[in-house]
Structure 1
Amino acid sequence: MTAAVIFGCAGTELTPNERDFFRETRPLGFILFARNIVGPDQLVRLTGQLRDSIDDPAAPILIDQEGGRVQRLRPPHWRAAPPAERFGQLASGDLAAGCRAVKLNHRLIAAELTALGIDVDCAPLIDIRVPGAHDVIGDRAYGGEPELVAILGRAAAEGLLEGGVMPIIKHIPGHGRSMVDSHHDLPRVAAGRAELSATDFRPFHALNDIPWAMTAHIVYEAIDADSPATLSTKVIADVIRGEIGFDGLLLTDDLSMKALNGKLGDLAQRSLTAGCDVVLHCNGDMAEMRQVAAGAAPLSPAAKARYERGQDKRERARLASASTSDMAALRDELTRLIA
Structure 2
Amino acid sequence: MVRCIRTTGLAVIATMVAGCAATGASAPVRAQGQAASPSVASPSAASPEPSTPAPAGSPAQVEAVLRKMSLEEKVGQLFMPVLYGPAADTSSPENRARYGVDTPAKMIEKYRPGGVILFPWANNVKGVRQVVALTNGLQKASPKIPLLVGADQENGRVSRLAPLVTDMPGASVIGSTGDPALARKAAKVTGTELKALGINLDFAPVADVNVNPRNPVIGPRAYGSNPKKVAPMVAAAVEGFHDAGIASTAKHFPGHGDTNVDSHTGLPVIQHSRAQWEKLDAPPFAAAIGADVDAIMSAHVVMPKLDPSGDPATLSKPILTGLLRDKLGFDGVVSTDALDMAGVRKKYGDAQVAVRAVQAGADILLMPPNYSAAYDGVLSAVKSGKISKARLDQSVRRVLKLKFNRGLLVKAPVADPDEAERVLRSPEHRKVARLINSRAR
- TM-score band w.r.t. shorter chain: 0.7 to 0.9
CA-to-partner distance for each residue in 1:122-160, whole Å, 9 max, x for gaps?
000010011334220000000011121110111111111
User: Is structure 2 residue 256 aligned with structure 1 residue 178?
Assistant: no
Any stretches of 5+ residues in structure 1 without a counterpart? Answer: 92-97, 316-325
Moved more, 216-225 or 18-27: 18-27
Letter in 2 for 1:273: Q
Provide the residue aligned with 1:258 in structure 2. 342
Partner Cα separation in structure 2 for residue 210 and residue 171 of structure 1: 13
**1:60-99 alignment, distance < 5 Å:** 60-75=148-163, 77-91=164-178, 98-99=179-180
Of 314, 317, 320, which residue of structure 2 is paired with 1:230?
314
Larger of the two Rg values belongs to structure: 2
Give the drift of 1:46: 1.4
Of 203, 213, 217, which residue of structure 1 is paired with 2:296?
213
Aligned residue pairs: how many?
A: 318
User: Is structure 2 residue 388 aligned with structure 1 residue 305?
Assistant: no
Partner Cα separation in structure 1 for residue 294 and residue 158 of structure 2: 22
Provide the residue aligned with 1:17 in structure 2. 102
Partner Cα separation in structure 2 for residue 296 and residue 25 of structure 1: 13
Partner Cα separation in structure 2 for residue 157 and residue 49 of structure 1: 28
Provide the residue aligned with 2:378 in structure 1. 296
Provide the residue aligned with 1:320 in structure 2. none
Give the drift of 1:213: 0.8
Pair 337,79 (structure 1): closer, same or farther in 2 beyond 3 Å: closer
Letter in 2 for 1:7: P
User: Is structure 2 residue 200 aligned with structure 1 residue 113?
Assistant: no
Contact 2:307 2:319 in 1 (8 A): yes
Partner Cα separation in structure 2 for residue 60 and residue 337 of structure 1: 30
Structure having the larger proportion of residues in strand: 1
Give the drift of 1:311: 3.9
Partner Cα separation in structure 1 for residue 231 and residue 405 of structure 2: 19
Instruction: Indicate the SS of the match to 1:66.
Output: strand
**1:263-278 alignment, distance < 5 Å:** 263-278=349-364
Partner Cα separation in structure 2 for residue 9 and residue 330 of structure 1: 30
Instruction: Indicate the SS of the match to 1:109.
Output: helix
Normalization by structure 2: what TM-score?
0.68
Pair 337,17 (structure 1): closer, same or farther in 2 beyond 3 Å: closer
Provide the residue aligned with 1:58 in structure 2. 146
Of 246, 256, 263, which residue of structure 1 is paired with 2:330?
246
Identity %: 31
Of 28, 32, 39, which residue of structure 1 is paired with 2:114?
28
Any stretches of 5+ residues in structure 2 without a counterpart? Answer: 1-72, 92-100, 383-390, 408-422
Instruction: Indicate the SS of the match to 2:255.
Output: coil
Pair 223,337 (structure 1): closer, same or farther in 2 beyond 3 Å: closer
Partner Cα separation in structure 1 for residue 364 and residue 335 of structure 2: 5
Partner Cα separation in structure 2 for residue 194 and residue 54 of structure 1: 46
Letter in 2 for 1:22: I
Letter in 1 for 2:394: A
Give the drift of 1:200: 0.5
Letter in 2 for 1:207: A
Give the drift of 1:313: 4.3
Instruction: Indicate the SS of the match to 1:230.
Output: helix
User: Is structure 2 residue 437 aligned with structure 1 residue 338?
Assistant: yes
